[in-house]
């Protein structure tokens, strides 16, 4: 069974790039009839906050990405401790005593010689006596994972064949001197224990993956399949501060529907066109990492706003009813939705329907025409009033086109533009229409 996971650290709000990763994990699981897990990466108690955990859940719910299970790293420290002990006993994790300043100095020396900043493994050469002496001096070790100096390869669903040389990588630090965990090892333990089959994340994790491949092997676990996506950038081509701060609150505040966010993020950076698709199954059915490009995906808020408009025009009443004015019904929604950029704007048109409307200023000729219109409106059949009214008025006054329609629209709605009058007039109804025309 396909199992994916979205693994945010609850140290802030999810931004558009995180939401995209969450969506793709969800879509991949749905496409393959699998499970989508939410894993809260809260190993860092100083930076993790419960309010962000709640916000993550709320944001995913707003997008309709319901996890099939939720895990928390903070509940699994015993398990990490056990695996850690095994890997220490097996010599795959070793203590190192260098201070950050010492490491920095060594990196500078290497850089000065034109060499890559790879950790020299000095700690591996320490004897028991050396370690005892350093601990006697008050040094506590941090812990590194000893990489095999061998090729590391995997077939990435987005990037294709990947190859790293273990000898050119530093043994990664997996645990700090204060005992706290870095992200690398707990993530591998969880992915193995939770039978995660596919890890979908940003390409900023590619070199982590190289080291994690060996951690899976050291645990005797089969690594999952990886999909490292090109990052999301702003329309100006960079991962801007602004993009990093755009989250659900912003989009909701701007009147963007979850369906628009989903439709855009599902296709951005792929070879499939971004379209106002409101049916998720369509998006799921066409979702395929083979269609993802290697170039950064460009996120443009204006594109999202346009997509939103096209999506609002399609949304059925049931999907929006809860956010509309209480007495606004399906007929009213159908009449106005084609004129909206945002669902929230429906309330403005509903006020136009229910009135009162600000009467427009008319010249004498139009006033006479509207008096005729009021009289005609009393006698027509109100089953299809707009066609009946304009048909009768055309015959009686000889007016046509704008001269016929505009004064009527202005008198009936107070506005020069708006939804189709044939749909609007029945909502306004006979009594209000007569008052407005008079
Ligand atoms: N907590 C990690 C992050 O947010 C998870 C990365 C991963 O998906 O493995 O970067």
Q: Note the pLDDT tens digit of each residue in 98-154.
A: 999 999 999 999 999 999 999 999 999 999 999 999 999 999 999 999 999 999 999
- pLDDT value of residue 156: 98
Domain that holds residue 370: 364-437
Q: Note the pLDDT tens digit of each residue in 351-395.
A: 999 999 988 899 999 999 999 999 999 999 999 999 999 999 999
Give me the number of domains the chain comprises. 4
- pLDDT value of residue 239: 67
- pLDDT value of residue 207: 96
Non-local CB neighbours of 248 within 8 Å, separated by 6+ positions:
13, 14, 19, 58, 59, 62, 63
How many alpha carbons lie under 13 Å from residue 294 in its C-beta half-sphere? 4
- pLDDT value of residue 388: 98
Statement: residue 236 has pLDDT above 80:
no
Mutational pocket test of ligand 1: of 19, 25, 41, the residue with most ligand atoms within 8 Å of the beta carbon = 41
Answer yes or no: do 304 and 328 share one domain: no
Q: Note the pLDDT tens digit of each residue in 332-354.
A: 999 999 999 999 999 999 999 99
Residue 239 within any structural domain of the chain: yes
Statement: residue 49 has pLDDT above 80:
yes
Domain CATH number, residue 123: 3.90.800.10
Q: Whose CA is nearest to atom 6 of ligand 1?
A: 7
- pLDDT value of residue 245: 82
Residue 122 within any structural domain of the chain: yes
- pLDDT value of residue 241: 74
Statement: residue 422 has pLDDT above 80:
yes
Q: Note the pLDDT tens digit of each residue in 159-185.
A: 999 999 999 999 999 999 999 999 999
Q: Note the pLDDT tens digit of each residue in 70-106.
A: 999 999 999 999 999 999 999 999 999 999 999 999 9
Residue 103 within any structural domain of the chain: yes
Average pLDDT for residues 241-256, to the nearest whole number?
89
Q: Which residue has the higher pLDDT, 237 or 352?
A: 352
Answer yes or no: do 56 and 87 share one domain: no
Tell me if 230 sits within 8 A of 268, measured CB to CB: no
Answer yes or no: do 93 and 159 share one domain: yes
Residue 213 within any structural domain of the chain: no
- Residues having CB closer than 6 A to ligand 1 are 7-9, 41, 183, 187, 201, 205
Whole-number Å distance, alpha carbon 74 to ligand 1 midpoint, is 15
Q: Whose CA is nearest to atom 3 of ligand 1?
A: 8
Answer yes or no: do 15 and 51 share one domain: yes
Answer yes or no: do 254 and 340 share one domain: no
- pLDDT value of residue 290: 95
Mutational pocket test of ligand 1: of 3, 7, 53, the residue with most ligand atoms within 8 Å of the beta carbon = 7
Answer yes or no: do 307 and 321 share one domain: no
Whole-number Å distance, alpha carbon 172 to ligand 1 midpoint, is 16
- pLDDT value of residue 244: 79
Q: Note the pLDDT tens digit of each residue in 269-322.
A: 999 999 999 999 999 999 999 999 999 999 999 999 999 999 999 999 999 999
Residue 200 within any structural domain of the chain: no
Mutational pocket test of ligand 1: of 6, 26, 205, the residue with most ligand atoms within 8 Å of the beta carbon = 205
Whole-number Å distance, alpha carbon 7 to ligand 1 midpoint, is 5
d(CA 436, CA 252): 36
Residue 305 within any structural domain of the chain: yes
d(CA 266, CA 234): 16
Residue 84 within any structural domain of the chain: yes
Tell me if 1 sits within 8 A of 255, measured CB to CB: no
Whole-number Å distance, alpha carbon 205 to ligand 1 midpoint, is 8
Answer yes or no: do 94 and 138 share one domain: yes
Whole-number Å distance, alpha carbon 95 to ligand 1 midpoint, is 25
- 24 class by beta-carbon count within 10 Å (0-12 exposed, 13-18 middle, 19+ buried): buried
- pLDDT value of residue 237: 72
Of 12, 59, 67, 25, nearest to 229 by C-alpha is 25
Task: Assign 421 a pLDDT band (cuts: 50, 70, 90).
Answer: very high
Whole-number Å distance, alpha carbon 8 to ligand 1 midpoint, is 6
d(CA 90, CA 88): 5
Of 76, 83, 81, nearest to 221 by C-alpha is 83
d(CA 29, CA 19): 15
- 181 class by beta-carbon count within 10 Å (0-12 exposed, 13-18 middle, 19+ buried): buried
Answer yes or no: do 262 and 278 share one domain: yes
Residue 52 within any structural domain of the chain: yes
């Amino acid at each position: 069974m396909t199992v994916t996971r979205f693994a945010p650290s609850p140290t802030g709000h999810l931004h558009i790039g995180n939401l995209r990763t969450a969506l793709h994990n969800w879509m991949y699981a749905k496409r393959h009839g699998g499970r989508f897990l939410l894993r809260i990466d809260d190993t860092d108690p100083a930076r993790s906050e419960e309010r962000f955990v709640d916000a993550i859940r709320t944001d995913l719910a707003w997008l309709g990405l319901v996890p099939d299970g939720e895990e928390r790293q903070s509940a699994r420290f015993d398990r990490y401790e056990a695996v850690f002990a095994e890997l220490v006993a097996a010599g795959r994790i070793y203590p190192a005593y260098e201070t950050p300043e010492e490491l920095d100095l060594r990196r500078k020396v290497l850089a000065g010689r034109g060499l890559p900043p790879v950790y020299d493994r000095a700690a591996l050469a320490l004897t028991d006596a050396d370690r005892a002496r350093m601990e006697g001096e008050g040094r506590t070790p941090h812990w590194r994972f000893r990489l095999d100096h061998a090729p590391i390869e995997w077939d990435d669903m987005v990037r294709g064949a990947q190859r790293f040389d273990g000898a050119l990588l530093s043994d990664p630090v997996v645990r700090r001197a204060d005992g706290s965990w870095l992200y690398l090892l707990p993530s591998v333990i969880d992915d193995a224990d939770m039978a995660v089959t596919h890890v979908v994340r940003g390409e900023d994790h590619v070199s982590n993956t190289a080291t994690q491949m060996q951690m899976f092997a050291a645990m005797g676990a089969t690594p999952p399949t990886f999909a490292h996506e090109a990052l999301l950038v702003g329309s100006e081509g960079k991962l801007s501060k602004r993009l990093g701060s755009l989250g659900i609150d912003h989009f909701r505040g701007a009147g963007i529907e979850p369906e628009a966010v989903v439709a855009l993020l599902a296709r951005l950076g792929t070879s499939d066109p971004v379209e106002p698709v409101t049916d998720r199954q369509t998006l799921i059915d066409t979702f395929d990492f083979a269609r993802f490009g290697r170039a950064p995906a460009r996120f443009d808020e204006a594109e999202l706003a346009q997509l939103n408009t096209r999506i609002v025009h399609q949304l059925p009443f049931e999907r929006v009813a809860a956010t509309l004015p209480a007495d606004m019904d399906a007929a009213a929604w159908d009449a106005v939705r084609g004129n909206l950029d945002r669902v929230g704007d429906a309330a403005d048109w509903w006020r136009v329907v229910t009135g009162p409307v600000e009467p427009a200023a008319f010249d004498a000729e139009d006033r006479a025409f509207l008096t005729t219109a009021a009289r005609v409106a009393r006698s027509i059949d109100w089953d299809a009033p707009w066609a009946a009214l304009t048909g009768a008025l055309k015959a009686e006054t000889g007016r046509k086109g704008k001269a016929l329609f505009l004064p009527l629209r202005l008198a009936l709605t107070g506005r020069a533009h708006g939804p189709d009058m044939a749909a609007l007039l029945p909502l306004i109804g006979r009594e209000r229409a007569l008052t407005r025309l008079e």
